[in-house]
């Protein structure tokens, strides 16, 4: 709420900041996420199967007053080794030559290839970037892309 309050004061009315804030406790195998208008973060097992989609979404920062902003977080305790992906809409909004969106399904498809790779050489980040680049090679790339991949053991 402090960040939102500050941004609401500093930013012009037509500006905002999308943000995903994550707290990861390796000791407790716990992830706590607050998502402000980014696509849903996802947790995958080491074979690329989706174990958790963080559904809770809030307003971007700097748009609404704190009394409207939902500051509650979503908590997940991971049962096995895996990988957390957090990303902006730039990657899911990629389009191929026919205008089809890459979407969340593209992310899931890219991560499904984890089972076939040597995990010491490649992480989900590499697979998603490679897969998304191939998908949009001749298509539209409109927005900037931010992607974070965190291995959770």
Domain spans of the chain?
Answer: 2-152
Report pLDDT for 139: 66
Give the CATH H-level superfamily of domain 2-152. Answer: PPM-type phosphatase domain (3.60.40.10)
Question: How many CB atoms are located within 10 Å of the residue 96 CB?
Answer: 16
Per-residue pLDDT tens digits for 118-128: 766 667 888 89
How much is the pTM? 0.90
Strands 82-87, 30-36: pairing is: unpaired
> Which tokens in the block code for residue 18?
């999308």
Q: Reading across the β-sheet that carries 74-77, which strands appear in turn?
A: 19-25, 30-36, 74-77
How does pLDDT run across 82-105, given as a tens digit for each residue? 999 999 999 999 999 898 999 999
- Residue 120: its pLDDT value, please? 66
What's residue 124's pLDDT?
Answer: 84
CA dihedral 51, 45, 116, 133 (to 10 degrees): 70
Q: Which residues of the chain have pLDDT under 50?
A: none
Tell me the C-alpha distance between 128 and 85, whole Å.
10
Upper half-sphere CA count for residue 15 (Cβ side, 13 Å): 7
Q: Which residues contact 33 (CB under 8 A, 6 or more apart)?
A: 20, 21, 22, 23, 41, 54, 56, 73, 74, 75, 76, 86
């Amino acid at each position: 709420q402090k960040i939102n309050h500050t941004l609401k004061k500093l930013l012009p009315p037509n500006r905002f900041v999308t943000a995903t804030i994550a707290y990861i406790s390796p000791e407790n195998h716990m992830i706590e996420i607050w998502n402000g208008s980014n696509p849903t973060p996802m947790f995958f097992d080491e074979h690329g199967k989706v174990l958790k989609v963080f559904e809770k979404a809030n307003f971007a920062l700097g748009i609404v007053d704190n009394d409207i902003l939902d500051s509650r977080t979503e908590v997940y305790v991971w049962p096995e080794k895996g990988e957390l992906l957090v990303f902006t809409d730039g990657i899911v909004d990629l389009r191929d030559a026919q205008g089809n969106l890459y979407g969340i399904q593209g992310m899931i498809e890219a991560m499904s290839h984890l089972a076939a790779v040597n995990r010491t050489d490649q992480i989900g980040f590499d697979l998603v970037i490679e897969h998304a680049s191939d998908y949009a090679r001749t298509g539209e790339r409109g927005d900037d892309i931010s992607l974070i991949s965190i291995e959770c053991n």
